[in-house]
Amino acid sequence: MEYITTEEKNRLETELAERHHADSEITIRIAEARALGDLKENAEYHAAREDKGMNQAKIDMIKQKLATAIIADPSETPDGMVFIGSTVRLRDIETEDEDLYKLVGDSSGRFDLDYLEVTSGSTLGQSLLKAKVGEKIRVALPRGDRTFEIVEIIG
């Protein structure tokens, strides 16, 4: 069971609908490839079957995630506390650099945002969860331990 935001839930539902549509198209590709004859040497048939399997696995994963996820309600989070959906400004104590991070349940995979997404299951995400402005958190990152100060919670 994991927390996700309403936005993440909507994104997953949209992706699920798109994958169901793609599944129909893949089924047509399989039928067309099957009509070509000998299935042992039919590369298009085997490629379409593989695509169908990968697409179905993704559909199953999204359905499972939606079935078990808890939608985080920002109105139930105490003011000044970081929770799923919060965007925070962190200052690296060593370098004094400041960056925006958003605590998410499920990463969108986008890199064109004004903030970096941090999943709640990551080391940084776990350290941020329930932290407050002014707190310093120490995080074991792949490049070594870092200490951050929570400067501001934006939303």
- Mean pLDDT, each 10-residue run in order, the chain (155 residues): 84 96 94 82 88 96 91 75 89 93 84 86 89 92 90 86
Q: What are phi and psi of 53, to 5 degrees?
A: -65, -45
- Can you state the percent helix, strand and coil of the chain, rounding each to 5? 40, 25, 35
Domain, as residue range, for 130: 74-153
**pLDDT tens, 130-141?**
899 999 999 998
Q: Of 16, 38, 71, which residue sits at a domain end?
A: 71
Q: Of 51, 71, 91, which residue sits at a domain end?
A: 71
**pLDDT tens, 93-121?**
999 999 999 998 878 777 888 888 998 88
pLDDT at residue 98, rounded to an integer: 93
Looking at residue 83, which CATH number applies to its domain? 3.10.50.30
Between CA 92 and CA 15 the distance in angstroms is 35
Residues 82 and 124 in one domain: yes
Residues 67 and 78 in one domain: no
For the CA atoms of 1, 108, 16, 3, the dihedral, rounded to the nearest 10 degrees, stands at 20
Residues 66 and 94 in one domain: no
Residues 79 and 106 in one domain: yes
Residues 94 and 107 in one domain: yes
Between CA 150 and CA 134 the distance in angstroms is 5
Looking at residue 39, which CATH number applies to its domain? 1.10.287.180
Amino acid at 96: E
Instruction: Report the number of distinct structural domains present in the chain.
Output: 2
Q: Of 71, 99, 131, which residue sits at a domain end?
A: 71
Residues 78 and 143 in one domain: yes
Residues 55 and 83 in one domain: no
pLDDT at residue 149, rounded to an integer: 94
Between CA 155 and CA 138 the distance in angstroms is 22
Residue located via tokens 């079957």: 49
pLDDT at residue 1, rounded to an integer: 63
Residues 47 and 98 in one domain: no
